[in-house]
Amino acid sequence: MAAGMMLARAGWSVRVHERSSEIRESGAGIYLRDNSLNVLDEYGLFERLAEQGTRLERSLSIDRDGTVRQNIAVPAHARSYVVPRQSLVDVLAYGARQAGVEIALNSEVQSAEPDGSLLLSDGRRQKADLIIAADGFNSRIRDGLNIGARHWELDTAVNRHFIPNRLITPKPESIQYWSGNRRIGVAPSGPTHSYVFIAFPNRDSVAKRLPLDLDDWTRAFPLLREQLPVIAAAPTTQYRYVMVECPRWHSGRVAIIGDAAHGLPPTLGQGAGLAIMNARTLTEALSREQDALKALPYWESCMRFISDETQKWSCRYDLFTRAWPTQLEFLRPAIFWAFNNFPSLTQRMRIADRGLTITPLSPHSAKAA
């Protein structure tokens, strides 16, 4: 949707094919940082979204016994928001429609060819100068291109709970609670909602139970004794962490973007952020080099490093929770200490947060130049 809006604004004639009957997201929050917020700003959509979300002022990490391992003020120049997922897709769909994008619902794509042919599931065939495969982790278009891509589920499961009040999130803070191989993140998501994610090893059959086994979770997180019943009562969805390895993000006139290209564990809150950032730089590459056959390799060569690094660090972060040996629990604070004392580590891990300022395709540096 983001790529469609940007290309339409740049003068392209765009159609989005969505297999569902509506533009819909699950009830949950989503973290967005400057790499995507700057893009929304540029397209005049930031204010519309920001009023439905919460700007975070602090980020904390707290151990089972209440020891605060990290307490970081979000710097004024680096925005971090949590917004309802539905608000994000609504704002993008609004921007796309305003830009003249045609959105075809109930329109499932079967496959795409490098020459720009698109085959729909109802048997119709269409031709385009450029096809963007933004069809998610299980991307049928990517797999049909036979470029050697792989995707798989990781051994971590995650619940997302969307709570229709701010009782457990009175302050604009994101807090992560750690206990053994489990982690709970709590943050406000706009004026009326709180967003909670709970990550745990997929083999942990008790943790996996829905509704939550309150006795078990309270033993693991005694600090959250009062909040857990509120969390357990809220609408919940359960997922597995995923990973995508895609050796190329393009084949002829087909570009692969978003989770289809670089699905990753959500530990750094950057999956959608990368998708929006990469859509922006794809548009930039196409405005510099009109021929898609030349623009796509250029785009990938500029953006690949940021996505690859973010995937690597997201997996490390996942292992840090899920696979940390419980008998070495006493060593985990050393990792927090290292990140607290060597900001360059955080900068490397969060390279995507600065993405648009460090790529040669940066629309912002291009403007400045």
Upper half-sphere CA count for residue 15 (Cβ side, 13 Å): 13
> Using the 8-state DSSP alphabet, how is residue 124 labeled?
-
Minimum Å gap between C-beta 356 and ligand FAD is 14
Peptide bond into 229 cis (omega under 30): no
CB 107 within 8 A of CB 79: no
Computed over its alpha carbons, how large is the radius of gyration of the chain?
21
Question: Pick from 101, 109, 157, 228: which binds ligand FAD (CB under 6 A)?
Answer: 109
Question: Pick from 269, 281, 296, 322: which binds ligand FAD (CB under 6 A)?
Answer: 269
Is 132 among the residues that bind ligand FAD (CB under 6 A)?
Answer: no
Minimum Å gap between C-beta 334 and ligand FAD is 27
Tokens of 176: 């992560």
Q: Of 1-20, which residues contact ligand FAD (CB under 6 A)?
A: 17-20
Minimum Å gap between C-beta 59 and ligand FAD is 13
Tokens of 54: 């919460």
Minimum Å gap between C-beta 232 and ligand FAD is 17
Site size toward ligand FAD (CB under 6 A) is 26
Minimum Å gap between C-beta 134 and ligand FAD is 5
Pairwise CA distance, residues 255 & 180, whole Å: 41
Q: Of 31-60, which residues contact ligand FAD (CB under 6 A)?
A: 31
Is 273 among the residues that bind ligand FAD (CB under 6 A)?
Answer: yes
- Closest to ligand FAD by CB, 65 vs 122, is 122
Pairwise CA distance, residues 297 & 164, whole Å: 45
CB 228 within 8 A of CB 196: no
Pairwise CA distance, residues 171 & 158, whole Å: 24
Is 258 among the residues that bind ligand FAD (CB under 6 A)?
Answer: yes
String marking each residue 325-364 x if it binds ligand FAD according to CB under 6 A: ----------------------------------------
Beta-carbon contacts of 221 under 8 Å, excluding residues fewer than 6 positions away, are 64, 177, 179, 182, 184, 228
Is 279 among the residues that bind ligand FAD (CB under 6 A)?
Answer: no
Pairwise CA distance, residues 71 & 63, whole Å: 12
Question: Pick from 83, 163, 275, 356: which binds ligand FAD (CB under 6 A)?
Answer: 275
Q: Using CB under 6 A as the criterion, which residues of the chain lie in contact with ligand FAD when the complex forms? A: 17-20, 30-31, 108-109, 134-136, 140, 158, 160, 197, 239, 258-260, 266, 269-273, 275
